[in-house]
Structure 1
Amino acid sequence: MNSNDEATTAPPETAGFDVREFARTAHGSHRGTLDLGSLAEEPLDAESVRLVRALRDMERSTLQRVRDLLVTATHKDARVTAFLTTWMFERFWIADALDAVLDASPAARGLPSSAGPARWVLAERRERRGPIRRSLIANITGTQIVAEHVTTSLVDEWITQAAYRRLAGMSPAVASIINPLAEIKQRHIRFLAEESERRLGGSVRAQRITRRALRHSAWPLGSVDRSKHERTFFERHVFGDRSGRAEAGRIRAMVAALPGIGPGVASTVESRLLP
């Protein structure tokens, strides 16, 4: 086996996250448990509803992300592929729950369009490669691309969790809806964190590939295709005030603690979250 392409599947006895149990206990539709009536008493304001829409769109983009991942060497890893299948399923239903919140929120009818010209950032140019070119480059990279995929997905989950916490802090009514959804996503974080630690810890090449991806990714993932005004809104609303900057600092610390990533890359990630 090439030293740069270590085995990408954890032996069963060392795999802490039970992927089979994760699939067996996957969460489907939430509509039967959402207390949408409470939103009539404590309605969301326009900015909070706009954040709900942004998160809905992020969760909904999972299918496209998984499609892009599975045209690379990641599709050869049975453990990661099994996780991605259930991860995609659960995020679909989280997006559906957020759709229900939007339907129950009068302020959603007055939101500005999310369409518009995208932001152009030179550092994000690799994100603008077409799917065929991305696939060719990823397959040349080999199995170490899996470390990049699980780590960037982990950082993305940390970022969206900060947005969910911001939403839950709006009112007890919103918290009763949002907190159970965020709790489901904690299982996603646990798997991605375990895989990231293991893969980065076992390969200097994986660390190098992942550092490059973290420096150049648009956050949250997929933002390169979103309008610049929606990106600016997300950054200001989630990370623009004192508590938001503290959230960004928390993410920086977690990124810096990943094997072989370091404070320089972590500071770059933080700086690109702040408005």
Structure 2
Amino acid sequence: MTVDLTADPSAHADDDRDRTTRARTAEASSPESAASPRPVGTPDPHASMPTAGRYAGHLHFDETITPVLRTDFDVEAYTKRGTSRIAVDTELLASQEPLRDQERLALAVLQRMESSGLAEARTMLSTVTANEARITAFLATWLVDRHWQSRALRDLLTGDHPVERPAPSRRPSRLAVLRRLHVDRVQPLLTPLWNAAAGEPVAAGHMARMAIQEASLVAGLDAIARRLGGEAERVVRTVRARQEAAVDFFTQEAIGRITRSRKEAVVARLVLSLGSPLHGGGVPDPDLDAALQVLGADPRDRAGLHRARREITRLLPGPDLPDAHLLSLPRSGA
């Protein structure tokens, strides 16, 4: 076989293109092609592509797609600010007055709620909420913040012990055990159905839940800080200061979604009715009610705990949506 190395390869390419064009023309003019034209009334999808406005050039973007919610919270600045472990001077802490039993109990409940960040994020990111770029970007840094905040409270209770964790003083109820089984084994199976039923508005429910949880943590930290002194008070107030960014983000996201759409408000109410935001990771803490009696002993602290929830629930349709755990607190001063 002899190959002509002097031949122009572009000539062969032109011949190939000509043959392809003739084949397509013949196919279009064939009887079979004429017998099966485009169905009448079926529009060309590319003809409907927006050519102006914010959806220009995007075939699948139109007014049926919920626009991205943008609040005043600067997610980019939050993710770039960095975070680090909150140092606890355990030697100084050991030399000061030890924590009383009531304070240890309340701090342990707050610590376990802080440590539930990963479980809360799993619940959010396993649904269509994960499609929200601002939310997922925020959660990536928020999870690190939650870890170090939880670790700081743990160090107050265990003295920076490498493996010891603050454990509940009470055994979980049968209902709590069933709830744990539901969260671990049943809920992941129901997530696809939840996505199909609720759709995009489920993000409003998640933001409402987390707004209440974060604000409740702040109210609880404020309450316990007033009962402490020395190194313990400093650490708690440092944790509380870091918590402020999460309160701002989730509250702005929740209010923005609830107020722009009745459907999102209805879904948010449904999410809050399925479980208390005070249940870290969706599972009630056995010591929660006892801790609330400590954290809500002062009228202004009770008011703060109620306000953390009311800030969101006041915007929801229907009657008031109370939290059963808060109903056990005295009403005076709240």
TM-score, length of structure 1 as denominator length: 0.81
Number of aligned positions between the proteins: 258
Structure with bigger RCO (C-alpha 8 Å, 6+ apart): 1
Give, in angstroms, the shift of residue 113 of structure 1.
4.4
The residue number in structure 2 matching 1:82 is 137
Contact 1:19 1:83 in 2 (8 A): yes
Cα distance between partner residues in 1 of 2:64 and 2:194: 14
Give, in angstroms, the shift of residue 59 of structure 1.
1.4
Q: Which has the larger share of helix?
A: 1
Between 1:235-244 and 1:52-61, the stretch displaced more is 235-244
Matched, 1:19 2:75: yes
Q: Indicate which of 190, 193, 196 corresponds to 1:137.
A: 193
Cα distance between partner residues in 2 of 1:263 and 1:241: 28
Between 1:211-220 and 1:236-245, the stretch displaced more is 236-245
**Bigger Rg over Cα:** 2
Where 1:44 maps in the other structure, the secondary structure is: coil
Cα-to-partner distance string for 1:52-91 (whole Å, 9 max, x where unaligned):
2222211111112111211100111111000111111100
Gap regions ≥5 residues in structure 2: 1-60, 329-334
Equivalences for residues 125-274 of structure 1 within 5 A:
130-140=186-196, 141-173=198-230, 174-222=232-280, 225-228=283-286, 230-240=287-297, 242-257=299-314, 259-261=315-317, 264-265=320-321, 268-269=322-323, 271-274=324-327
The residue number in structure 2 matching 1:57 is 112
Give, in angstroms, the shift of residue 248 of structure 1.
3.3
Corresponding letter in the other structure for 1:218: S
Cα-to-partner distance string for 1:248-275 (whole Å, 9 max, x where unaligned):
3323542344x3356612xx13x43233
The residue number in structure 2 matching 1:73 is 128
Cα distance between partner residues in 1 of 2:107 and 2:293: 15
Give, in angstroms, the shift of residue 2 of structure 1.
9.2
Cα distance between partner residues in 2 of 1:3 and 1:220: 37
Corresponding letter in the other structure for 2:234: S
Q: Indicate how the Cα distance of structure 1 residues 3 and 151 shifts in structure 2: closer, same or farther if over 3 A, else same.
A: farther
Q: Indicate how the Cα distance of structure 1 residues 252 and 192 shifts in structure 2: closer, same or farther if over 3 A, else same.
A: closer
Cα distance between partner residues in 2 of 1:249 and 1:82: 30
Cα distance between partner residues in 2 of 1:232 and 1:2: 49
Supply the RMSD in Å over aligned alpha carbons: 3.0
Give, in angstroms, the shift of residue 48 of structure 1.
1.0
Give, in angstroms, the shift of residue 42 of structure 1.
2.9
Give, in angstroms, the shift of residue 43 of structure 1.
2.1
TM-score, length of structure 2 as denominator length: 0.68
Q: Indicate how the Cα distance of structure 1 residues 92 and 102 shifts in structure 2: closer, same or farther if over 3 A, else same.
A: same
Matched, 1:28 2:28: no
The residue number in structure 2 matching 1:6 is 66
Identity of aligned residues (%): 22
Give, in angstroms, the shift of residue 164 of structure 1.
0.5
Where 1:183 maps in the other structure, the secondary structure is: helix
Gap regions ≥5 residues in structure 1: none
Give, in angstroms, the shift of residue 212 of structure 1.
1.8
Give, in angstroms, the shift of residue 35 of structure 1.
4.1
Contact 2:75 2:137 in 1 (8 A): yes
